Amino acid sequence: MEKKTCSANNCNKEAKMQCPICLKLGLTGFFCSQECFKKNWASHKLLHVSKDLENTYNPFPSFKYTGNLRACYPLSPRRTVPSSIKYPDYAISGASKSEEKASSSKIQVLTPKEIEGMRKVCRLAREVLDIGARAIKEGITTDEIGKKAYPSPLNYYNFPKSVCTSINEVICHGIPDKTKLKNGDLVNLDVTLYYNGFHGDLNETYIVGDSTDETGTKLVQVTKECLEKAIALVKPGNLYRDFGNVIEKHAQQAGFSVVRTYCGHDNKTAGIMRPGHVFTIEPMINEGNFRDVTWPDNWTAVTRDGKRSAQFEHTILVTETGCEVLTARLADSPGV
Residue 266 located in a structural domain? yes
208 Ramachandran zone, left/alpha/beta (phi>0; psi -120 to 50)? beta
| CATH number of the domain residue 307 falls in | 3.90.230.10
Please indicate if the annotation marks 282 as binding a ligand: yes
Residue 43 located in a structural domain? no
Please indicate if the annotation marks 313 as binding a ligand: yes
Residue 280 located in a structural domain? yes
Domain count, the chain: 1
CA dihedral (63, 65, 66, 71) in degrees, to 10, reads 140
How many Å is the Cα radius of gyration of the chain?
A: 22
Residue 23 located in a structural domain? no
Q: What is the pLDDT of residue 29?
A: 82
Q: Residue 170's closest CA among 311, 335, 328, 327? A: 311
Residue 214 located in a structural domain? yes
- SS3 per-residue string spanning the chain: CCCCECCCCCCCCECCEECHHHHHHCCCCEECCHHHHHHCHHHHHHHHHHHHHHHCECCCCCCCCCCCCCCCECCCCCCCCCCCCCCCCCCCCCCCHHHHHCCCCCCCCCCHHHHHHHHHHHHHHHHHHHHHHHCCCCCCEHHHHHCCCCCCCCCHHHCCCCCEEEECCEEECCCCCCCECCCCCEEEEEEEEEECCEEEEEEEEEECCCCCCHHHHHHHHHHHHHHHHHHCCCCCCCECCHHHHHHHHHHHHCCCEECCCCCCCCCCCCCECCCCCEEEECCEEECCCCCEEECCCCCCEEECCCCCEEECEEEEEECCCCEEECCCCCCCCCCC
Does the global pTM surpass 0.85? no
Residue 277 located in a structural domain? yes
Residue 253 located in a structural domain? yes
Please indicate if the annotation marks 190 as binding a ligand: yes
Please indicate if the annotation marks 277 as binding a ligand: no
Q: Is the peptide bond before 334 cis (omega within 30 degrees of 0)?
A: no
Residue 92 located in a structural domain? no
Please indicate if the annotation marks 143 as binding a ligand: no
Q: What is the pLDDT of residue 120?
A: 96
**Sequential pLDDT tens for the chain (336 residues):** 467 788 877 787 888 888 888 877 667 788 899 988 888 887 777 666 655 556 899 999 999 999 999 999 999 988 888 877 888 888 888 999 888 888 666 889 999 999 999 999 999 999 999 999 999 999 999 888 765 444 799 999 999 999 999 999 999 999 999 999 999 999 999 999 999 899 999 999 999 998 789 999 999 999 999 999 999 999 999 999 999 999 999 999 999 999 999 886 667 777 999 999 999 999 999 999 999 999 999 999 999 999 999 999 999 999 999 999 999 999 999 987
Q: What is the residue range of 247's domain?
A: 97-325
